[in-house]
Structure 1
Amino acid sequence: MNVFPGTAGITAWAQTEQAVQSVEDVIEEHILPKLDPDFLEYFTQVRTKAAAGSGKVAPKPPSIQELRAHPEAFRVPCALDTRGYPGVTDLTFPSQDGVSIPVRVYHPDREKHGTGPFPVHLNFHGGGFVVGGLESEAAHCLSMREAGVIVVDVDYRLCPENIWGKCFQDAWDALNWVRESASLLNANPASVSVGGISAGGHISIVLQHMARDAGIPLKLCMATAPLATRALSYTYYTESPFPSFHEFHRGPVLPWAQIKYYGRLCMPPEKLPELRKLWPSWWLEPLEAPNWRGLCDAFIRTAELDPLRDEGEAYAMKLVAGGNKVTLKRYLGCPHTFVYMDALKRKHEYDRDSIAALRVAHGLD
């Protein structure tokens, strides 16, 4: 089993390659007692499987060629191929530069939720802007449609094949396509929300500002563990102003080594001047957005033992200071991307929270 941190959630390769050790020898002493017991059990099982027959836990970081040649080896634990499921349809929409962007559309059960038109929630998957696709969060999409909403999962363009920033253009085009295709989708164009996990959370909070600036009303921005700083361009983790980034820079999920790995594929130093010319500076660092007034309601969720915890919560506090309605929840004992681990009770709590938030936001309760 090849355990890749950005997807499977266990950052084995980001640690020094080593013989198999106990969990207590791998997870730092200040982190271990805080971890959710379900995660510790899961972590132990995955390490054991990864080491079976090899005597070692940590392979070297995969090359981009390996990632693309063997995507099945690097998928998140909850990945699911939902093609052919009842109420699930694959479509495409045109980007502003002429590329066809795939989406997977999840319609709610009409017997439970009526005949529509239905509210719409756009989902943007995680994966460091480098990995992920329509299988990554399919299980979450199936769950969220139980709120009585259509879920549109967007397969935005990834780095390094595409320059970083195309994802925001794709997200913007997806939002406009959903509104313009209401009759095709059996959707209510006046009741649209957006959300995502990790990189998808970053996309969602940028889209929150873009929609406000264009006068497009959103019902909710539901961002989980979002990247809200320029962390992908840091030279070293000590550049972060946030304590959680320092405290968990060698955590069991999303350590600094993994963030740096993604950063070199998304924002290599030689590309930064070009990126800063191409895109608004706050796309790289949403906490530096120029206007915090008049934004849609937000549900911001963080994980207690995540290096991105503090910047996600700082984003929520900026929304509050701007006079916006915000719900903030921190999942105790959890690392980054805990929501991809079906064995965790907290993951199922997260799913229930998503359904409840969508029902309230879209006026379904």
Structure 2
Amino acid sequence: MSDSETKSAWDPAKEVEPHILAKLDPDFVRYWTKVMSKGAPPGHLSIEQVRANPDKFASPCALDTKGYEGTVDTEFASEDGTKIPVRVYYPDKSKHGPGPYPVHLNFHGGGFVLGDLSSESTLCLSMSDGAGVAVIDVNYRHCPEAVFGKCFQDAWAALNWARNEAASLNLKRNSISIGGISAGGHISIVLQHMARDAGLPLKIMLASVPPTTDGLAYKYYTDSPFASFHEFYRSPVLSWERVKWFGNLTMPADQQAELRNMWPDWWLAPIRAPNFRGLCPAFIRTGECDSLRDEGEAYGMKLVAGGNDVKIKRYLGSPHNFMGLKAMKQKEQYDLDSIAALKEAHGA
């Protein structure tokens, strides 16, 4: 048997622990088997290799929507003057009228390292068309090219830009929501607190499969206090090996002390935020078979304890990035849930 044939013989029963395989949605297992049989990239690839082949490592829901009808590419200046690209998705005028429109800020996932304006384009299109909102997809700065923490400054600048330029962008200044997946969920959670502290109203915050601790700084997966991090450390999509790959690029051991002195502690671990009262409504979503499940739900329970309006939903059989996988029925339900939450929050 040739090397290529050996690589193609990926068997989930051998590569995934039995208790995890039993919980995973069969649709996902079939999809992941096909992906791995084509030769998935190993976790030890350098960032240079990844940057040199962006299409190879693109999100499964990525679509280049540049130039699509109803989309506008523009940029704004972050706190230090850096230009941050955004893509605005406007809803269909024939369905939703001429505007001004409610607006939803989307922050993509990718471990604070990966992602661009194509990564979650299909999700942005779905939210915009389904809920009748303008979606601003923000391509915040990534590590290691930018120091970890700049992404939060970019998110704050994006929120203020959307408010200040609402008239020229045909948006409703006082009908803004925020959200993101994975790293984007972490960013959205931090922004939720920043907006509350500044007295800026938000309609809702949607955080999906978010990391809410400083897990990127863990030395061992057992450093996590959450059971799901231990149970699913070898799960597909977001294994401990992959978490460490992201961690080495965002919070390398020799820079952790400096990073912790640079930013508020709760920016790195929003579950340790000092005040959980008076926050905007939130919809926290997790995957049953995701290592980040428990910390996301624990953050949601802290919101509940703070007296906030909170909905928490766990998608059964789902791994970390299920919302980007067309092969999964849970992805369709996820899209419907996003649309329903935005319509209710914005009164659409």
TM range (shorter): over 0.9
Distance 2:293 2:57 in 1: 24
CA distance in 2, matches of 1:35, 1:269: 33
Give the 5 Å matches for 1:37-48.
37-48=26-37
TM-superposed deviation, 1:67: 1.4
The match for 2:115 is: 132
Partner residue, 1:149: 133
- The AA in structure 2 aligned to 1:116 is G
Q: Taking structure 1 as the reference length, what is the TM-score of the superposition? A: 0.92
**2:89–2:135 CA contact under 8 A, matched in 1:** yes
Cα separation, 1, equivalents of 2:60 and 2:7: 23
Shift of 1:23: 1.4
2:196 pairs, out of 208, 212, 221, with 212
CA shift for structure 1 position 49? 2.3
Give the C-alpha shift of residue 48 in structure 1.
2.1
> Would the aligned equivalents of 1:141 and 1:151 in 2 still touch at CA under 8 Å?
yes
Q: Which amino acid aligns with 1:180?
A: N
Q: Which amino acid aligns with 1:354?
A: S
CA contact (8 A) 1:80 1:139 kept: yes
1:329-344 aligned within 5 A: 329-344=313-328
User: Which residue pairs with 2:3 in the alignment?
Assistant: none
For structure 2, which runs of at least 5 residues remain unmatched after alignment? 1-5
Aligned partners of 1:153, 1:256: CA distance in 2, in Å?
28
Partner residue in 2 for 1:103: 86
Q: How many pairs were matched up?
A: 342
Name the counterpart of 2:241.
257
Q: Partner of 2:49 in structure 1? A: 66
Structure 2 CA distance, aligned partners of 1:22 and 1:165? 39
Report how far residue 342 of structure 1 moved: 1.3
Q: Deviations over 1:107-126 (max 9, x none)?
A: 00011001111100000000
TM-score under structure 2 normalisation? Answer: 0.96
Distance 1:18 1:82, change over 3 A: closer
Q: Who is 2:16 aligned against?
A: 27
Contact 1:18 1:58 in 2 (8 A): no
Identity %: 61
The one of 123, 143, 149 aligned to 1:159: 143
Deviation of the 1:170 alpha carbon: 0.2
Structure 1 partner of 2:164: 180
Q: Secondary structure at 2:178's aligned position in 1?
A: strand
Instruction: Report the 3-state secondary structure (helix = DSSP H, G, I; strand = E; otherwise coil) of the residue aligned with 1:123.
Output: strand
Counterpart pick for 2:215 among 214, 231, 242: 231
Residue of structure 2 in register with 1:114 after alignment? 97
**Mapped pair 1:318 → 2:302:** yes
CA contact (8 A) 1:117 1:187 kept: yes
Does structure 1 conserve the Cα–Cα contact (< 8 Å) formed by 2:10 and 2:36?
no
Letter in 1 for 2:247: G
Range with greater deviation from structure 2 (204-213 or 62-71) = 62-71
Residue 76 (structure 2) pairs with residue 87 (structure 1): no
Change (3 A) 1:151 1:58: closer
SS in 2 for 1:342: coil
For structure 1, the residue ranges without an aligned partner over 5 or more in a row are 1-16, 51-56
Secondary structure of 2:235's match?
A: coil
